[in-house]
Amino acid sequence: MAELGPQRRGERDYPMVAREGWPIVACFVLAAGILTGLAWYVLGSVGGPLVGTLTGVLALWAVWFFRDPVREVPRGESVVISPADGVCCHAGPGAPPAELGLTGGWTRVSVFMNVFNVHVNRAPIGGEVERVEYRAGKFFNASFDKASEHNERCGMVIRSGSGERVGCVQIAGLVARRIVCRVERGAHLERGERYGLIRFGSRVDVYLPEGVAAGVRVGQRMVAGETIIATLPAHGRSQGREGAFAGSAHGVEG
């Protein structure tokens, strides 16, 4: 079922914890309170503080996992930025998923997120969302190259004001079991705007048009909304802007 995102807000207008995490954080806090109370009742002053400390740490981890910090988004219409926090695990040629309808040669930049990274995803460029496609799949370790083809994923294509198309694919990982994409076809995203989230370790792939080289290297740490991964040519001269799209598109929370 589609879930439309909120009206566009400023970078500092978002809550410190992503709204997708509120129910989970609430469950952790409630469980911590109940378990601590039971421990005090059953184990007394010896077990109560211990259980309270352990469950409290888990509740704080849930808050930390769903944190949504403010980022300083670079300016420049041709700039492509990282959509995710993590480590670059691939920067080179790569074929986009077939459902995105992107043909020709493309460069793939993959960002692997572990459970300690910020998991809120941001738009790599500004422009119109031309396509959003969800595909069920497997749950291999997201750092494996085969995850691009076989894992559960949700991809979108954004067309910039100069006509360049860039693909962006959220990929579920070994323990990730939920991909959230807040946008639908026809939406307009600003560069660095929050558009989704993946829970508990995952990956995001960015597909750059032919002729656009990746400006990052494998092993480099990436910061969503801040790290520049490439620069698009002026006036949309790359082959990535060519080609028609077919098929339905929809917003997904899978």
What pLDDT is stored for residue 145 in this prediction? 59
Which helix (DSSP H) or strand (DSSP E) does residue 2 occupy? Answer: none
Q: Is 127 left (phi over 0), alpha (psi -120 to 50) or beta?
A: left
What pLDDT is stored for residue 138 in this prediction? 62
Closest CA to 53 of 36, 34, 65, 73: 36
115 class by beta-carbon count within 10 Å (0-12 exposed, 13-18 middle, 19+ buried) = middle
Q: Which of 110, 202, 238, 248 is catalytic?
A: 202
Q: Which residues of the chain have pLDDT under 70?
A: 1-13, 137-150, 173-177, 200-201, 235-254
DSSP letter assigned to residue 191: T
| AA letter at 239 | Q
The predicted model scores a pTM of 0.79
| AA letter at 103 | T
> Would you report the helix, strand and coil content of the chain in percent, each value rounded to 5?
20, 30, 50
Q: 29-49 burial string, b = 16+ CB within 10 Å, else e? A: beebeebbeebbeeeeeeebe
202 catalytic residue (yes or no): yes
Model confidence pLDDT, tens digit, residues 134-193: 988 666 555 555 556 667 889 999 999 889 999 999 988 665 557 888 899 999 999 999
What pLDDT is stored for residue 5 in this prediction? 38
- Rounded to whole angstroms, the Cα distance separating 129 from 183 reads 8
Torsion of CA 143, 92, 252, 121, to 10 degrees: 70
How far, in Å, are 112, 125, 211, 249 from residue 87 at the CA level?
Answer: 5, 19, 23, 30
What pLDDT is stored for residue 23 in this prediction? 84
